Amino acid sequence: MERFRVEGGRRLQGSIRPGGNKNAALPIVAACLLTDDPIVLRNLPDIQDVRVMLQILEGLGSTVEHLEQNVVRITSKGDISPNPDPSLSKKIRGSMLLAGPLLARCGSAVIAKPGGDAIGRRRVDTHLLALEALGAQIVVSAEEYRMSAQSLKGKRMFLDEASVTATENAIMAAVLAQGDTLIYNAAAEPHVQDLCHFLNSLGAQIEGISTNSLLIHGVDSLHGGEFTISSDHIEVGSYIGLAAVTRSELLIEDAVPEHMYAVRLMLEKLGVNIEVEGKNIRVPAQQELRVRYDIGAAVPKIDDGPWPLFPADLLSIMIIVATQAEGTVMIFEKMFESRLFFTDKLIQMGARIILCDPHRAIIVGGARLHAGEISSPDIRAGMALLLAALCAKGESIIHNIHQIDRGYERIDERLNALGARIVREKDE
């Protein structure tokens, strides 16, 4: 186990480029099972969750070649096992994304119940209902999901929630199904769009990309190709928050500004302004963080929702920014009932936060945080705690940093290049 030793209060400066979208990389890697031909993936983030997914594919019979930094070639030729390694599958939530490709490729799949962040109940009902609609038979036990399908057939379906991973599983199962599939209430996040564009580049026929209604014309086969994964908009939002709370000027390169409309709107409620320069985003230094109250001086609310609304994965970052903005704001987390529990660590560091219930927190900002010894409970809270340590007074220790490594590639090295002082060391 490792930990970070972080010196807070330093100004940062320079440019940083976000990695590839983690939540696009995982389904895209899984989708490589849909063809015998080799596929080259570029801008693949070198993070723990992706490494585990690549290991799982190798265990199934795929060949994974690392051509250069963040570039791999995956070939899934010949016999592919429908049984992912349970010990690896339990390490990541993304292992559930193997269900659709394996059903389409092998006609069966045995998926161990997946792991991932402990941020509350994360139901898979929508996955199973979508796959059943396409013709799969599924037996659920305490440890696994056992699936089979003699053939998958296109179906008109309505997802009972706009689940990102359930939409992705349905897409991957449907591209090789017989006939047309129409998915209503589909998720439309940037990572879902990336998966659709990737599959279309291999010969799939998916219409309605970026909308909540996807029409998929089943094809007989897919071919190989090359694809570059888009920048991670969650990582972009994290760097904007980092610049804001450390009062630093940062240039975020290849930031995909068209993915940041809702994020920008919520940041402006806290007084954070950004400048769009082509494909890049600049965060000016020395911004005055001050809550902008709603009409009638009402306390504003920052809440999450399905795309194109504010992404749930950035609420942890917004909480840190809110602690540094003069004024009061409510954070409303609608999706996961345990995600806000990390705020107790911020309170230890001097933040003024009232956790009203598992989904709502009132933050009275403007208090300078002080250093603390804290532990990262999940990917997004871990990054938020790193931001808190970087803007706090004194030296902080962050334990359990493998959670941060799951979502952010070489984050200590990259931030140190901007002037941060983060030491990675063994945790006794």
Omega of the bond leading into 308 within 30 degrees of 0 (cis):
yes
- What radius of gyration do the chain's Cα atoms show? 22
| 12-49 CB burial, b ≥16 within 10 A, e <16 | beeebbbbbbbbbbbbbbbbbbbbebbbbbebbbbbbb
What is d(CA 320, CA 338) in angstroms, rounded to the nearest whole number? 17
Q: Which SS3 state, helix, strand or coil, does residue 271 take?
A: coil
Give SS3 for 173. Answer: helix
Q: How far apart are CA 127 and CA 162, in angstroms?
A: 11
Separation between Cα atoms, residue 218 and residue 201, nearest integer Å: 14
| Under 8 Å between Cβ of 97 and 165 | yes
Alpha-carbon dihedral sign for residues 244, 246, 248, 250: negative
Amino acid in the structure at residue 406 = R
* 8 Å CB contact between 376 and 404: yes
Residue 377's identity, in one-letter code, is P
Return the SS3 of 215.
strand
Q: Catalytic pick from 117, 194, 378, 405?
A: 117
Q: Strand 373-375 relative to strand 395-399: parallel, antiparallel, unpaired? A: parallel
Contact (CB, 8 A) for 330 and 299:
yes
**Residue 117 is among the residues annotated as catalytic for this protein:** yes
Count the neighbouring beta carbons within 10 Å of the beta carbon of residue 222. 22
Residues identified as active-site? 117
